[in-house]
């Protein structure tokens, strides 16, 4: 598995850390930090020397021991043939929750198996009821509340919190990087030339409000305007007609063309349904959701573009943390890990370029689709049947850069994608990105990103 830079926060301090492929942590430091204190000078009594190629995650940080401690194996271990008993309090009714469970499953494939307790439920069923009828060694929950956390502490039950409905509650937490999601949505629309934006979110939902705030800030910083509509968070359709009527009225008054960011796929589906036959998608209203629920996105008309928040990685990391806590390793009570989104799966609902000139839009689309085929500016001019000078003027007027720079931008983004997600050699990546020579690709890559291709790949591992 690969992923981008993660954010790990201890005691309110945020640090940007490189991720790992198989072991997401510096195992030696994690296992010894309760003994050595992980002082600024490094481990004092660590039995295993830290590996040189990995930056110690605890250097400069002195975590306080967590009050939640692992129980001994004899506690409640009668069932499961001596295995550690773990409750996965994660909603099975939603794609996001099921993908978290897939991440837990991937961890267990290569580690010690657990005796797992799972209930099929939606968010809101309550942890207290679960704990009243189940005894075990640890829990991963998506329903943490202050009362729940207090109960877990009284029981001394190791727990990892995956909920994102309220701020951090004082037990180890792993979440989607909601601010990064909002910024990614803004960049997606800005790159397509939009200047008018809307955001549809949920009232009183912490995760939705963070995504909305980051999106609005990013588009307004780029000179755009952003209108916001927040709907009540409902799990049933008792007030569907009223909510949809309000959504239709909001969409109609937005200046067109407009780019609408829905803070999850369910809201994206609602937005597309509200457009109906009165507002064309994506020509008048482009829509982007979050979660990449393939089934729901495919049911939308047209299919919904969506940000993939990487819930599998959230599940994998949660299992890693819990396993170590159950083995007696202490963890800071305010440990907080944010998993960045993997990227955007572009479908028909946002696959358009919002520019007033049809010839320019055709040129831009041709570059996006064929830059990695090794095209030149002359090829673009011939395809659109305009002069090169016309292309130069319009690209600088609309995008602030030349058509050649746009071609290179698309090629470098392809290089970055291949470096992050594959083990292909640089020569192959150069060819797939449309460069004839690996040396030239390396020069352009460093000029654009500030790093060599090899350095970029090592930082993303």
Residue 95 lies in a domain: no
The structural domain count of the chain equals 2
Looking at the structure, tell me whether residues 370 and 293 fall in a common domain.
Answer: no
Looking at the structure, tell me whether residues 201 and 281 fall in a common domain.
Answer: yes
Q: Where are the alpha helices (DSSP H) in 136-227?
A: 146-155, 178-190, 206-221
Residue range of the domain that includes 243 = 178-309+344-350
User: Does the bond joining 340 to the residue before it have cis omega, within 30 degrees of 0?
Assistant: no
pLDDT value for 241:
81
- Contact 207/177 with Cβ under 8 angstroms? no
Closest CA to 309 of 99, 163, 160, 143: 99
pLDDT value for 72:
42
415 φ/ψ angles, rounded to the nearest 5 degrees: -60, -45
**For residue range 335-384, what is the model confidence (pLDDT) as tens digits?**
889 999 999 999 989 988 777 777 887 888 789 889 999 999 999 999 99
Q: Which of 350, 376, 404 is the last residue of a domain?
A: 350
Residue 14 lies in a domain: no
Residue 222 lies in a domain: yes
Q: Where are the alpha helices (DSSP H) in 4-116?
A: 27-36, 95-109
Looking at the structure, tell me whether residues 372 and 305 fall in a common domain.
Answer: no
Looking at the structure, tell me whether residues 297 and 390 fall in a common domain.
Answer: no
Distance from C-alpha of 201 to C-alpha of 237, rounded to nearest angstrom? 17
Looking at the structure, tell me whether residues 304 and 369 fall in a common domain.
Answer: no
Cα–Cα–Cα angle for 133, 138, 139, rounded to 5 degrees = 70
Residue 189 lies in a domain: yes
Distance from C-alpha of 24 to C-alpha of 175, rounded to nearest angstrom? 15
Looking at the structure, tell me whether residues 373 and 257 fall in a common domain.
Answer: no
Contacts with 221 (C-beta within 8 Å, 6 or more apart), sequence order: none
pLDDT value for 123:
64
User: Distance between alpha carbon 217 and the CA centroid of its chain, in Å?
Assistant: 18
Contacts with 182 (C-beta within 8 Å, 6 or more apart), sequence order: 210, 211, 212, 213, 214, 215, 216, 217, 218, 261
**Which residue ranges of the chain lie beneath pLDDT 50?**
1-80
Distance from C-alpha of 219 to C-alpha of 223, rounded to nearest angstrom? 7
Looking at the structure, tell me whether residues 300 and 217 fall in a common domain.
Answer: yes
Q: Which tokens belong to 93?
A: 């009714």
Cα–Cα–Cα angle for 38, 68, 208, rounded to 5 degrees = 90
Region of 329 please: left (phi>0), alpha (psi -120 to 50) or beta: beta
CATH classification at residue 418: 1.10.10.60
Q: What is the pTM of this model?
A: 0.66
CATH classification at residue 274: 3.40.50.2300
């Amino acid at each position: 598995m690969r992923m981008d830079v993660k954010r790990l926060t201890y005691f309110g301090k945020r640090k940007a850390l490189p991720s790992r492929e198989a072991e997401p942590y510096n195992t030696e430091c994690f296992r010894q930090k309760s003994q050595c204190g992980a002082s600024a000078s490094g481990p004092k009594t660590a039995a295993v020397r830290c590996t040189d190629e990995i930056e110690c995650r605890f250097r400069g940080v002195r975590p306080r021991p967590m009050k939640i401690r692992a129980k001994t194996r004899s506690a409640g271990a009668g069932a499961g043939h001596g295995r550690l008993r773990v409750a996965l309090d994660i909603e099975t009714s939603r794609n996001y929750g099921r993908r978290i469970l897939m991440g837990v499953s991937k961890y267990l494939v290569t580690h010690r198996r657990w005796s797992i307790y799972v209930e099929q439920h939606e968010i809101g069923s309550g942890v207290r009821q679960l704990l009243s009828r189940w005894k075990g060694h640890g829990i991963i929950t998506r329903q943490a509340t202050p009362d729940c956390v207090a109960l877990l502490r009284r029981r001394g039950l190791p727990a990892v919190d995956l909920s994102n409905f309220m701020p951090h509650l004082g037990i180890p937490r792993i979440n989607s990087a909601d601010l990064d999601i909002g910024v990614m949505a803004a960049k997606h629309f800005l790159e397509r030339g939009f200047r008018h934006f809307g955001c549809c979110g949920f009232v009183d939902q912490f995760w939705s409000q963070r995504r909305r705030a980051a999106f609005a800030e990013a588009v307004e910083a780029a000179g755009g305007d952003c209108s916001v509509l927040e709907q009540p968070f409902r799990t049933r359709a008792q007030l569907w007609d009223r909510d949809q009527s309000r959504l239709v009225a909001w969409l109609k008054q937005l200046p067109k063309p407009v780019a609408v960011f829905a803070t999850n796929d369910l809201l994206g589906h609602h937005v597309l349904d509200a457009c109906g036959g009165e507002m064309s998608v994506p020509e008048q209203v482009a829509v982007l959701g979050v979660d990449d629920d393939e089934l729901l996105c495919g049911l939308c008309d047209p299919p919904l573009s969506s940000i993939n928040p990487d819930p599998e990685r959230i599940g994998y990391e949660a299992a890693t943390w819990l396993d170590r806590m159950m083995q007696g390793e202490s963890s800071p009570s305010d440990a907080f890990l944010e998993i960045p989104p993997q990227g955007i799966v572009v479908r028909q609902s946002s696959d358009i370029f919002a520019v007033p000139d049809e010839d320019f839009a055709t040129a831009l689309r041709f570059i996006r689709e064929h830059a990695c085929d090794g095209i030149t500016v002359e090829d673009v001019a011939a395809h659109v049947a305009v002069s090169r000078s016309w292309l130069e003027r319009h690209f600088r007027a609309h995008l602030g850069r030349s058509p050649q720079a746009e071609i290179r931008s698309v090629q470098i983004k392809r290089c970055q994608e291949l470096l992050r997600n594959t083990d292909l050699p640089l020569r192959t990546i150069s060819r797939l990105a449309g460069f004839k020579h690996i040396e030239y690709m390396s020069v352009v890559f460093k000029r654009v990103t500030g790093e060599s291709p090899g350095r970029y790949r090592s930082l993303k591992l």
